[in-house]
Amino acid sequence: MIRLSELPEDIQERVHATRERVARLHGELPANNLVVWTAGNVSERVEGTDLFVIKPSGVRYDELCAETMVVCTCDGEKIDDGTPSELSPSSDTAAHAYVYRHMSKVGGIVHTHSTYATAFAAAHRPIPCVLTMMSDEFGGEVPVGPFAIIGDDSIGRGIVETLKDSRSPAVLMANHGPFTIGKNGEAAVKAAVMVEEVARTVAIAEQLGTPIPVAQKHTDTLYERYQKVYGQH
């Protein structure tokens, strides 16, 4: 087992900073009504390493802090971080590890069971691109990934296969719920918040009638502008 204390000091400092950041980001999930009880998780890659930090399994959100975050290798193995805690990593760890190994630009991953996005996943239905917000954030529809059993890297394989050629940072894993990716943990959390927001709006729109898709040419223009022009650079 890798021991954190045996790694270079600068990597130990990066691990510590990542644990603090990931612990803080977990607070965004209940704050945005994306999870209940102990469900869901955030992970973030430790920059410049083959390590990532993830939530411990089955621990309530009000009990999370930097010290309870679990450090793993991108092969999904927990490392000895020198803390007295014997907490096991999230049951989704193998899925996160697979994504990190196969999508080098991904620096953060989030999984939730947020109500509306999960409802689309239960119906095996993508969220259609009927909002300019979706064009901005997702570059089109939010796709559905395959059914996969938790516990090994099956979910990770489904995420990679579904998103490798998609502009969407979110996938609805069939009968399970949304997984989101980003350049870091914060970007993945934002995608998780946004996918639930658009799922809720589209579900309500469908009660009023048939939502009208945004034309592909407009989606392309909106996505390009939002990704390269919007905000501060």
Residues annotated as catalytic (active site), given as ranges: 136, 230
Give the C-alpha separation, 227 to 212, whole Å: 23
Alpha carbon distances (Å) from 68 to 44, 101, 185, 233:
15, 24, 17, 34
Give the C-alpha separation, 178 to 190, whole Å: 13
Cα diameter, the chain: 61
Give the C-alpha separation, 133 to 156, whole Å: 27
Q: Would you call 13 exposed, middle or buried from its count of C-beta atoms within 10 A (0-12, 13-18, 19+)?
A: exposed
Q: Is the CB of residue 21 less than 8 Å from the CB of residue 47? A: no
Give the C-alpha separation, 25 to 34, whole Å: 12
Q: Is the CB of residue 75 less than 8 Å from the CB of residue 93? A: no
Q: Is the CB of residue 121 less than 8 Å from the CB of residue 177? A: yes
Give the C-alpha separation, 208 to 226, whole Å: 28
Give the C-alpha separation, 233 to 229, whole Å: 8
